[in-house]
Amino acid sequence: MNMIVTPSSSATPNGTTRPQVRIVIVGHVDHGKSTLVGRLLHETGSLPDGKLEMLKAVSARRGMPFEWSFLLDALQTERDQGITIDTTQIRFRTNSRDIVLIDAPGHAEFLRNMITGASQADGAVLIIDALEGVRDQTRRHGYLLHLLGVKQVAVVVNKMDRVDFSADRFKEISDEISAHLNGLGVTPTAVIPISARDGDGVAERTDRIRWYKGPTVVEALDQLEPARPLEALALRLPVQAIYKFDDRRIVAGRIESGSLTAGDEIVIMPAGKIAKIKTVESWPATPVEGRQGAGRSVGITLDRELFIERGDIIAHAGTAPRETRRLRARIFWLHDKPLAKGDQLLVRCGPKESRATVVAIEKAVDPGELSSSENKAIGRNHVGEIDISLSNPIATDPYTENPRTGRLVIEVSGRIAGGGLVLSVDAGQRAVPVDIVPVESALRPDERSARYQHNGAVVWLTGLPASGKSTLAKALERRLFTNGGSPILLDGDTLRAGLNSDLGFSATDRSENIRRLAEVATHLARNGHIAIVAAVSPAREDRATARRIADTAFREVHVATPAEVCEERDPKGHYKKARAGALASFTGIGNDYERPEAAELVIDTSKRTVAEAADEIEQMLKTSGVLFDEVVDLAANI
Amino acid sequence: MHLLRTDSGADGRDFRPAVSEQIPVGLTAPSMDHLDQLEAQSIYIFREAFARLKKIALLWSLGKDSNVMIWLARKAFFGKMPFPALHVDTGKKFPEMYRFRDHYGKEWELDLRVEPCPPIDAVDPTLPPAARSAARKTEGLKMALAKYGFDGLIAGIRRDEEATRAKERVFSPRGLEGNWDVRDQPPEFWDHFNASPPQGAHLRIHPILHWTEADIWAYTKRENIPIIPLYLSKDGKRYRSLGDQDITNPVNSTASTIDEILIELEQTKVPERAGRALDHETEDAFERLRVAGYL
């Protein structure tokens, strides 16, 4: 026996590390998976003292013969049902590998758990009963392994004792499964005759299988290759969060592939903004010098202030992922309700999430049958290929180019309902901005502040149509200008005539409209101007986006004129048209305006004059540090 | 090694690490060892929990595992843990544990919330004695949950500890009663977690689920994380796992340093929780506790 076993991991006192390979054991229920695992553990002495004796005693107490599978079925419930419920991770060592073994159940009900387990596997052992041969579930599991990208599959033909260790029967099964796997593009690394119950072929080539010349199960496991190095691929750092716990603005995430270091030129997708990495932050010692590679959870700071949000992907310019609103994926489905064309979903690609619609179902396959079904829906535990349309653009890679970023999960009602691999993306909505180099202004913000007597800001007026936003915005603009400031009015309707003329009034287009307004306004604010935005902006989420973009420069003013007053005013005649049904998607007469919960200021224009309202805004801008009082010490604001 | 000794009183500063970790400089990224990988995975989980849940807390049992968790949280958030550390106190811990809590709660700038457990009479009398005592903690936890309205609790359980815990998810939903439905766990794969507990229910988050006992010690040593001295051998015995005084027993051991503990773990086949009385009362006591919401 060539196996060294410890009950724990490779964290040894001398700190040696060995390649770790994660293995899943799959196959038809009752073909002996748990028995094989129990046998492997026993043969290699990896069981805790007394465990075997205890289980034997339990079996005797219940009047049942001892089974090797009891070792894994330590749960009371499992013994009651006679099947394994869920994956259990077990560790042991072969000559050159640390193996993490995931015992996978074979019962059809628990297929989703098998997928959960198999998804973490670098290799697989597919088990087949020598008496029963290749069954539906054998084929299904083989297909799922292929689907999940597990290429290294060792086949064991178990219960050889029940076919008198017949070399002919072994060859028959070996040929059938090899042909099946080859058809899926998977070449078995070995096909091994064993008796898990008696131990033949597990760690030893016994006399009873002397006709067999290949590796034992242990030897086959020792030959499995660990996953290929992700560091060799292009940089992908999906952003998990932006932290501002102190004066640092840290972009945090885990490097999924490639590597980075301070000074790297990066591009932030999908927006395509460019920046340089200023520092790589850490704790307790910081900053960190040198390159950080795939797998590290890092925090970086950038050389300029950019709007970045959770889900963005940081890459190197030139090797950025593609941005898309449309992709094709090969998925497995785990939800009770079949997935059909037109279904609304939530797609997660790393930390990025987007609402999505199933545009087309190209294939729907029952993995046991391996035939495409006629009905264009993907049933539970079935697989398929689908086209998805995303409401927010995401940056992703085909899984063949990047196994980490090229996969996604699908959520239904807040619960993971399926997963899949990105086959292709509809690229090209935006060229990857390799040649864009933002030019910094020649002026410093404090030079402008000194002249205008104010800092840059975004004053965001939100409220129902005809609530008085534009009137108020114009009054404020005049007031600030008269005082020597530099206000600029950005009216929603005015911008729709030009910059945003390609946008309609769908929820998606409205969001994009707000995003553009916020980006333009923020640019102005960064350059010392006070951008006054007047826009209905009914969606709370969109306004939250605007606040994130403008960050500390954002001042939200809710123009909270009562709805009936707005409708009575109706200077543009919109309410009248909407009541007549001639204006679809009009905010105001429905309940689709989401009131701000924490605006810097709330103003009801039905209760005060325009001048009074402008006074209030001016006061708010003073108290919140945008406008300087006459006596202000300028240096203190620099 | 970095210890809070009983004889050092409230001041454990004598035992602080003398030198900070050297950070390697080079053109290619230094390869990650096993502990680096575990650490990065745990940090990822912490950041996901913080990003996706509204109100979370870390359950601090004062033991080696939850101390490693706090260390990881400080790494994840660059020094200070941005959510409370919740100690559900049975009132029956070892004095060394309370000293440790009071000292490091301050030094680590934790937002420490100590919550009591109900009297033993309020707990299911059909449970065996030790399990009943442990179930008090579950009740205390439920009370703390109701008080603060946390939607996520970070707990330091590990898959290798006990067969029942091997079935756990990283993000594990609990029912409205705090119960765990082992047969209906949502799928969890590719580091995508189910983070939407139903209204009024909460999630347990397990950032060190994939660690082993030996990993915990190797990391504690590498990072110089303080420990309670009860873990080290005294008069031929040490605690491998720390719980309430009356239901936790030391194991025979001569390991008086972390290195010696690691060597001992390489050789021993005695399970970690052997000293925990409640694991041995009946075959299913532990699972019954867990289904009811125990850690």
- Min Cα distance B49 → chain A (Å) is 10
Across A427-438, average pLDDT:
47
Q: How far apart are CA A114 and CA A112, in angstroms?
A: 5
Residues A8, B51: C-beta atoms closer than 8 Å = no
Are A177 and A260 part of one and the same domain?
Answer: no
Are A214 and A67 part of one and the same domain?
Answer: yes
From the centroid of its chain, how far is CA B61? 6
What tens digit of pLDDT does each residue of B150-206 get?
A: 999 999 998 877 666 766 889 988 876 667 776 667 778 888 898 887 777 889 999
In this complex, is the C-beta atom of B264 within 8 Å of any C-beta atom belonging to chain A? no
Residues A17, B26: C-beta atoms closer than 8 Å = no
Among candidate residues A417, A401, A397, A269, the one with its CA nearest the CA of residue A346: A417
Residues A11, B21: C-beta atoms closer than 8 Å = no
Q: The domain containing residue A285 runs over which residues?
A: 230-316
Across A109-122, average pLDDT:
54
- Residue A600: pLDDT band (50, 70, 90) is very high
pLDDT for B13? 33
Residue of B27, B47, B214 with shortest CB distance to A241: B47
Q: Which residue of B has its CA nearest to A289?
A: B25
Residues A284, B20: C-beta atoms closer than 8 Å = yes
Domain membership flag for residue A84: yes
Question: Mutation test of the interface with chain A: which of B182, B189, B259, B280, choosing the one with the most A Cβ atoms within 10 A?
Answer: B189
Q: How far apart are CA A308 and CA A279, in angstroms?
A: 16
Domain membership flag for residue A578: yes
User: 178-217 in B: which are within 8 Å (CB) of A?
Assistant: 182-183, 185-190, 192, 194, 196, 210, 212-215, 217
Residue of A6, A11, A334 with shortest CB distance to B218: A11
DSSP A538-598: --HHHHHHHHHHHGGGEEEEEE---HHHHHHH-TTSHHHHHHTT-STT-SSSSS-----SS
Task: Residue A588: give its domain's CATH number.
Answer: 3.40.50.300
Residue B17 or A591, more confident: A591
- Residue A380: pLDDT band (50, 70, 90) is confident
The strand pairing partners of A250, in sequence order, are A243
Q: How far apart are CA B62 and CA B87, in angstroms?
A: 8
Q: How far apart are CA A419 and CA A425, in angstroms?
A: 16
Is the pLDDT reported for residue A69 higher than 80? no
Percentage with pLDDT > 70 across chain A: 83
Domain membership flag for residue A161: yes
pLDDT for A94? 80
Residue B289 identity (one-letter amino acid): L
Across B104-119, average pLDDT:
94
The strand pairing partners of A627, in sequence order, are A454
Q: How far apart are CA A115 and CA A109, in angstroms?
A: 12
Are A366 and A304 part of one and the same domain?
Answer: no
Is the pLDDT reported for residue A517 higher than 70? yes
Among candidate residues A231, A248, A245, the one with its CA nearest the CA of residue A300: A248
Q: Which residue of A has its CA nearest to B31?
A: A293
pLDDT for A130? 95
- From A273, A300, A316, the end of a domain falls on A316
Q: Write out chain B residues lying below 8 Å of A7, CB-based.
A: 160, 269
Q: Which residue of B has its CA nearest to A229?
A: B31
Q: Which residue of A has its CA nearest to B284?
A: A76
User: Is residue A144 within 8 Å of A118, Cβ to Cβ?
Assistant: yes
Are A361 and A485 part of one and the same domain?
Answer: no
Domain membership flag for residue A184: yes
Are A479 and A577 part of one and the same domain?
Answer: yes
ipTM of the complex: 0.84
Q: Write out chain A residues lying below 8 Å of B73, CB-based.
A: none
Across A131-144, average pLDDT:
85
Are A514 and A588 part of one and the same domain?
Answer: yes
- Min Cα distance A523 → chain B (Å) is 27
pLDDT for A242? 95
Domain membership flag for residue A488: yes
Is the pLDDT reported for residue A597 higher than 90? no
Domain membership flag for residue A545: yes
pLDDT for A240? 97
Whole-number Cα distances in Å, B175 to B106, B198, B200? 34, 8, 9
Residues A297, B76: C-beta atoms closer than 8 Å = yes
Residues B269, A48: C-beta atoms closer than 8 Å = yes
pLDDT for A89? 59
How many domains are contained in chain A? 4
What tens digit of pLDDT does each residue of A314-358 get?
A: 999 889 998 888 899 988 888 889 999 889 999 999 999 999 999
Of A124-133, A596-605, A629-638, the poorest mean pLDDT is in A629-638
DSSP B47-58: HHHHHH-SSEEE
Are A469 and A384 part of one and the same domain?
Answer: no
- From A316, A338, A357, the end of a domain falls on A316
What tens digit of pLDDT does each residue of B59-90 get?
A: 999 999 999 999 999 999 999 999 999 999 98
Residue A226 identity (one-letter amino acid): P
Helix (H, G, I), strand (E, B) or coil at B112: strand
Are A168 and A268 part of one and the same domain?
Answer: no
Are A630 and A552 part of one and the same domain?
Answer: yes
Across A444-473, average pLDDT:
88
Domain membership flag for residue A1: no
pLDDT for A108? 44
Whole-number Cα distances in Å, B267 to A18, B260, B261? 19, 11, 10
Q: Which of A30-44, A80-94, A510-524 holds the top average pLDDT? A: A510-524
Q: Write out chain B residues lying below 8 Å of A74, CB-based.
A: 163-164
Task: Residue A376: give its domain's CATH number.
Answer: 2.40.30.10
What tens digit of pLDDT does each residue of B244-269 get?
A: 787 788 888 999 999 999 999 888 76
Residues B78, A281: C-beta atoms closer than 8 Å = yes
Q: How far apart are CA B76 and CA B78, in angstroms?
A: 6
Q: Write out chain B residues lying below 8 Å of A293, CB-based.
A: 28-32
Would you tell me how many other CB atoms lie within 10 Å of the CB of residue A611?
Answer: 9
Across B48-57, average pLDDT:
95
Of A428-437, B137-146, B165-174, the poorest mean pLDDT is in A428-437
- Min Cα distance B201 → chain A (Å) is 14
Inter-chain Cβ pairs, chain A and chain B, closer than 8 A: 189
Q: Which residue of A has its CA nearest to B211?
A: A9
Spell B2-15 as b/e; 16+ CB within 10 A means b.
Answer: bbbeeeeeeebeee
Q: Write out chain B residues lying below 8 Å of A259, CB-based.
A: 28-29
- Report residue B47 as tokens: 């950041």
In this complex, is the C-beta atom of B111 within 8 Å of any C-beta atom belonging to chain A? no
Q: Write out chain A residues lying below 8 Å of B30, CB-based.
A: 290-291, 293
Is the pLDDT reported for residue B295 higher than 70? no
User: Is residue A135 within 8 Å of A173, Cβ to Cβ?
Assistant: no
Is the pLDDT reported for residue B29 higher than 60? yes
Are A274 and A303 part of one and the same domain?
Answer: yes
What tens digit of pLDDT does each residue of A202-241 get?
A: 999 999 999 999 999 999 998 888 766 788 899 999 999 9
* Structural domains in chain B plus CATH codes: 33-180+189-295 (3.40.50.620)
Spell A363-372 as b/e; 16+ CB within 10 A means b.
Answer: ebbbbbeeee
Q: Write out chain B residues lying below 8 Å of A416, CB-based.
A: 186-189, 192, 194
Are A349 and A258 part of one and the same domain?
Answer: no
Are A286 and A416 part of one and the same domain?
Answer: no
Q: How far apart are CA B76 and CA B47, in angstroms?
A: 7
What tens digit of pLDDT does each residue of B210-239 get?
A: 898 999 999 999 999 999 999 999 999 999
Among candidate residues A185, A296, A277, the one with its CA nearest the CA of residue A230: A296
Q: Which of A109-118, A428-437, B4-13, B158-167 holds the top average pLDDT? A: B158-167
pLDDT for A68? 77
- Report residue B182 as tokens: 């082992």
Omega of the bond leading into A287 within 30 degrees of 0 (cis): yes
Residues ≥6 apart with Cβ < 8 Å to B287: A75, A76, A77, B164, B182
Mean pLDDT of all residues belonging to chain A: 82
Across B96-114, average pLDDT:
96
- From A281, A316, A351, the end of a domain falls on A316
Is the pLDDT reported for residue A307 higher than 50? yes
Across A148-171, average pLDDT:
92
Residue of B40, B182, B192 with shortest CB distance to A297: B40
- Residue A196: pLDDT band (50, 70, 90) is very high
Domain membership flag for residue A10: no
- Where does residue A9 fall: left (phi above 0), alpha (psi -120 to 50 degrees), or beta otherwise? beta
